[in-house]
Chains A and B, each alone.
Chain A
Amino acid sequence: MKNLLWLQGLTCSGNTQSFLCSENPSVSEFFSEIKLVWHPEITHNRDITEILSEVFKGNLKIDFLLIEGAVTNNKKLHRIGKYSIRYIINKLKNMVRYIIAVGNCAVHGNYPALYNPDQISGLQYGLNGKKGLLPTKFKTVSGYSVINLTGCPVHPEWITKTVLTLSYGMEIELDSYNRPKELYMYLSHDGCTRNEYFEWKVEAEEFGTKEGCLFYELGCRGPVTHAPCNKILWNRKSSKTRAGMPCIGCTEFDFPYRENYFETKKYMGIPQDIPIGVTKRAYIMITGVAKTFKNERLTKKLEETD
């Protein structure tokens, strides 16, 4: 059985908490297929410093190294026992089969890196073009670079699907940010229950209604964000946009330093960021057409439709 070691850098533990919510497989089911070496919130009877000792000596081989949290060399900001996480990763990087960066902080530093972008970063990327801990061309013995799962937090299935697919000996394709293509080729826009309102340009002007598209006024990043949130539902129930909260684009690299998350930035009434895949000209034309032909059904509250 392949095994898995989970370490935390500078983190809020949100990805761990999200992971604990995993269903099909549940955390226990998952760890019946993959052996858990250590996890800071699950393991009760082993000390991490002992385990790291064994791994450094070469007595314990690790297949999957999962890192949650930003990394730094500065031991004043973060330590695991007496080590800095940078030290640990540098020692382990050529000893483990796969390294998976779980969550934005491990991928590029995220909010923690804003405090000190030169000293705090992700594994293979830093904030806003800065360098990560490992060189851009770095690959583990498996031939994969660090596999990035962006998100703040990530969905538990993004972790379990990635690990299990690899553990069954199947290849996963990565996109240009080294994220599993099959997860991040969807936009969080795909599958939102408000898609019809988007199509017909019926905007939600205020919060608090299940009708209306959140893209035009309220800052929703759905059409420009790579994430399967409306395909693989959160808590197997819903998603932010379904519940009326705009997507904040947390899987994209500019997430931590964007501002005014609940406002759609517009110039002369036209959104600054238009949906991926369409040119501005085409978008404006289609918007014009859609606004011209009203969809009567979408002008009413759903309860009042036929």
Chain B
Amino acid sequence: MAKIERKVLHRVEGEIQLKLIWENKQIKDAFIQNLNFRGFEFILENRPPLDALIITPRICGICGHSHLIATVKALEDIYRKNGYRLEISYKASLIRNITHTVEIIQNHIRWFYLFVMPDFTKLEKNKEEMKDYIPLNGSKWKKALSISNNILKIVSILAGQWPHTSYTVPGGVMSDPIQTDIAEAISITDAVLRFFEEEIIGTDINNYLSVGSFDQFKDKIKKGDLLTFIELTLKNGMDKLGKSYNRFITVDAIVPCVREGVVKKRSCRFDPSKIKEIDSYSFLKKDGTDFSRKRYSWAKAVRYDGLPMETGPLARKVVSKNRLFQDLLRRFGDSYMVRVWARIDEIGRMLLTLKSYLLSLNIKEKAYIKPEVKIENLEGVGTGLIEAARGSLLHKIELKDGKIKKYNIITPTTWNLGPRCEKFLSPAEKAIIGLDSSLKAEMILRSFDICSVCTTH
């Protein structure tokens, strides 16, 4: 007899409601419901173009910065499409990359310690072992939150504040840091890197980066929160759970390659024209809203050439042919453990990338070079693509008569946690089918790092 369980999920940047259909003590079907809607795409219509830089970050409090960068890229794309060669100084590009990278790192740290590890405190029988991860009082929880605040100071130095800055416009950035600002940023980066080494991987970062397989990991890494996480995962059988379609998308490439619906082994370039939003199960239709029974979420389903794709750090690892993750995928598939590990791994690599950006910065270059024409005088469609913390983010803006005519946003969580289409469940829905525990279902959903507020904007 089928039993329906409804859960309200928090610690997902917003709120998700979950409808689980149980049969024979297993999840037979799962509906991920995003029920909160703010209508940002409508709010943006008829506004002056540059106002989008103020408005889109306010779609989301934790990844608002990614929206800012996607918006400025979409606006700069309009210049390009109109034949203007916009000059952005190397310094401005680097500063944009720096603040964006900082947000990703901070997102991952907060997600792991605030959203992921506390679930293990419920799953684990031995409560004493988990006390450091308990929210508010656990020493590791406190330390992680504090270090996530430290790295954000780099954004404050370069962009004024976090959250919600709009410090970049077509043509560059607004800030003019001095040399000692950069030195301070480097010092902060080093401190966070030390945290990563001491607390998360329990070893020197170069040692960790030399790991190319699961077996090598077990040999070389002897302590740290990553190891603790892996051990807990293995202990609770979650190394095999949470597998999805094993299909990945990043804004650079998709894996495996999909051409005309046929799946080939290797990767190929991401083609934005192959994206389709399917609203059959969404409250939002092309021409209004519809609340008939089968529709269950404000989010729309997104498909690439008709197929569902997973996006996020794991996708980025696959696309970049990362050696360690090729091994992990072979052994464990795209399971919960591998997905979470990919995110944690990214913290370390991004810290190194961040440091190299900072060291390459030449403060003597111009921060902002005024475009030849005002954007209000241009028309057409511009696209901004960016890899945000949770995966591929797409902004599409259409300008006409000096105003925004249409604005379309597809967020990473829409790819992962949108509703189903006629043929396929979303990657996250698929990942929890067959589970025997709703707590594990929650945990697997969180492994996708849900941003519910983004998904429904």
Judged by CB atoms under 8 Å, the answer to whether A and B touch is yes
Residues of chain B within 8 A (CB-CB) of A184 are none
Assuming the contacts A12-B453, A111-B43, A238-B157, asked whether A245 and B122 have C-beta atoms less than 8 A apart, the reply is no
Residues of chain A within 8 A (CB-CB) of B11 are 40-44
Assuming the contacts A21-B162, A115-B42, asked whether A41 and B368 have C-beta atoms less than 8 A apart, the reply is no
Residues of chain B within 8 A (CB-CB) of A80 are 8, 15
Chain B 11-27 per-residue mask, 1 if CB under 8 angstroms from chain A, else 0: 10111010000000000
Docked-complex contact B153 and A259, CB < 8 angstroms: no
Q: A20 contacts the other chain (Cβ, under 8 Å)?
A: yes
Contact of A27 among B48, B136, B175 (CB under 8 A): B136
Docked-complex contact B14 and A235, CB < 8 angstroms: no
Q: B156 contacts the other chain (Cβ, under 8 Å)?
A: yes
Residues of chain B within 8 A (CB-CB) of A81 are 8, 17
Query: Taking CB as reference atom, which chain B residue is nearest A81?
Result: B8
Docked-complex contact A208 and B152, CB < 8 angstroms: no
Which of these binds chain B: A71-79, A267-275, A282-290, A292-300?
A71-79
Contact of A28 among B8, B40, B142, B159 (CB under 8 A): B142
Docked-complex contact A209 and B370, CB < 8 angstroms: no
Q: Give Cα A80–Cα B16 distance, bound, in whole angstroms.
A: 10
Docked-complex contact B47 and A207, CB < 8 angstroms: no
User: Restricting to B356-380, which residues have a CB under 8 Å from any CB of A?
Assistant: 366-368, 370
Residues of chain B within 8 A (CB-CB) of A234 are 156, 160-162
Docked-complex contact B15 and A44, CB < 8 angstroms: no
Query: Taking CB as reference atom, which chain A residue is nearest B35?
Result: A79
Assuming the contacts A41-B11, A244-B174, asked whether A237 and B370 have C-beta atoms less than 8 A apart, the reply is no
Q: Give Cα A235–Cα B152 distance, bound, in whole angstroms.
A: 7
Q: A23 contacts the other chain (Cβ, under 8 Å)?
A: yes
Q: B258 contacts the other chain (Cβ, under 8 Å)?
A: no
Q: A15 contacts the other chain (Cβ, under 8 Å)?
A: yes
Assuming the contacts A31-B136, A234-B161, A235-B152, asked whether A244 and B167 have C-beta atoms less than 8 A apart, the reply is yes
Query: Taking CB as reference atom, which chain A residue is nearest B50?
Result: A262
- A28 CB → nearest B CB, Å: 5
Query: Taking CB as reference atom, which chain B residue is nearest A27?
Result: B145
Residues of chain A within 8 A (CB-CB) of B306 are none
Residues of chain B within 8 A (CB-CB) of A11 are 14, 61, 453
- B55 CB → nearest A CB, Å: 7
- A268 CB → nearest B CB, Å: 21
Docked-complex contact B162 and A43, CB < 8 angstroms: no
Q: A112 contacts the other chain (Cβ, under 8 Å)?
A: yes
Docked-complex contact B163 and A260, CB < 8 angstroms: no
Q: Give Cα A45–Cα B17 distance, bound, in whole angstroms.
A: 17
Query: Taking CB as reference atom, which chain B residue is nearest A112?
Result: B38
Q: B178 contacts the other chain (Cβ, under 8 Å)?
A: yes
Q: Give Cα A247–Cα B172 distance, bound, in whole angstroms.
A: 18
Contact of B55 among A16, A78, A111, A229 (CB under 8 A): A111
Query: Taking CB as reference atom, which chain B residue is nearest A110?
Result: B58
Docked-complex contact A17 and B62, CB < 8 angstroms: yes
- A84 CB → nearest B CB, Å: 11
Assuming the contacts A17-B62, A42-B135, A261-B50, asked whether A115 and B38 have C-beta atoms less than 8 A apart, the reply is yes
Q: B203 contacts the other chain (Cβ, under 8 Å)?
A: no
Assuming the contacts A152-B58, A236-B153, asked whether A10 and B36 have C-beta atoms less than 8 A apart, the reply is yes
Contact of B167 among A229, A243, A261 (CB under 8 A): A243
Query: Taking CB as reference atom, which chain B residue is nearest A79?
Result: B35
Docked-complex contact B136 and A111, CB < 8 angstroms: no
Assuming the contacts A17-B62, A152-B164, A210-B178, asked whether A235 and B146 have C-beta atoms less than 8 A apart, the reply is no
Docked-complex contact B13 and A44, CB < 8 angstroms: no
- A55 CB → nearest B CB, Å: 16
Docked-complex contact A245 and B167, CB < 8 angstroms: yes
User: Restricting to A88-144, which residues have a CB under 8 Å from any CB of B?
Assistant: 111-112, 114-116
Q: B437 contacts the other chain (Cβ, under 8 Å)?
A: no
Contact of A41 among B13, B122, B160 (CB under 8 A): B13
- A251 CB → nearest B CB, Å: 12
User: Restricting to A196-211, which residues have a CB under 8 Å from any CB of B?
Assistant: 206-210
Docked-complex contact A243 and B136, CB < 8 angstroms: no
Residues of chain B within 8 A (CB-CB) of A18 are 61, 163
Residues of chain B within 8 A (CB-CB) of A13 are 13-14, 60-62, 453
Assuming the contacts A14-B61, A20-B145, A208-B174, asked whether A78 and B36 have C-beta atoms less than 8 A apart, the reply is yes
User: Restricting to A1-54, which residues have a CB under 8 Å from any CB of B?
Assistant: 8, 10-18, 20-21, 23, 26-28, 31, 36, 40-45, 47-49
Can you list 20 contacts pairing A with B, beta carbon distance less than 8 Å? A12-B453, A13-B62, A14-B163, A20-B148, A21-B149, A27-B145, A36-B136, A41-B10, A42-B135, A48-B10, A79-B36, A80-B8, A111-B43, A208-B368, A229-B161, A238-B157, A244-B176, A245-B175, A259-B48, A261-B54
Q: Which 8 A-B pairs have the closest CB atoms?
A: A14-B61, A208-B368, A208-B367, A115-B39, A234-B161, A240-B160, A44-B118, A243-B160
Using a CB–CB cutoff of 8 Å, the interface residues on chain B facing chain A are: 8, 10-11, 13-15, 17, 35-40, 42-43, 47-48, 50-51, 53-55, 58-62, 64, 110, 114-115, 118-119, 121-122, 134-137, 141-142, 145-146, 148-149, 152-153, 155-167, 169, 171-176, 178, 283, 289, 291, 366-368, 370, 453
Using a CB–CB cutoff of 8 Å, the interface residues on chain A facing chain B are: 8, 10-18, 20-21, 23, 26-28, 31, 36, 40-45, 47-49, 70, 76-81, 111-112, 114-116, 152-153, 206-210, 229, 233-245, 248, 259-262
Given A43-B10, A244-B174, A245-B166, 7 other A-B contacts at CB below 8 A?
A8-B14, A12-B60, A17-B62, A44-B121, A70-B38, A210-B175, A236-B156
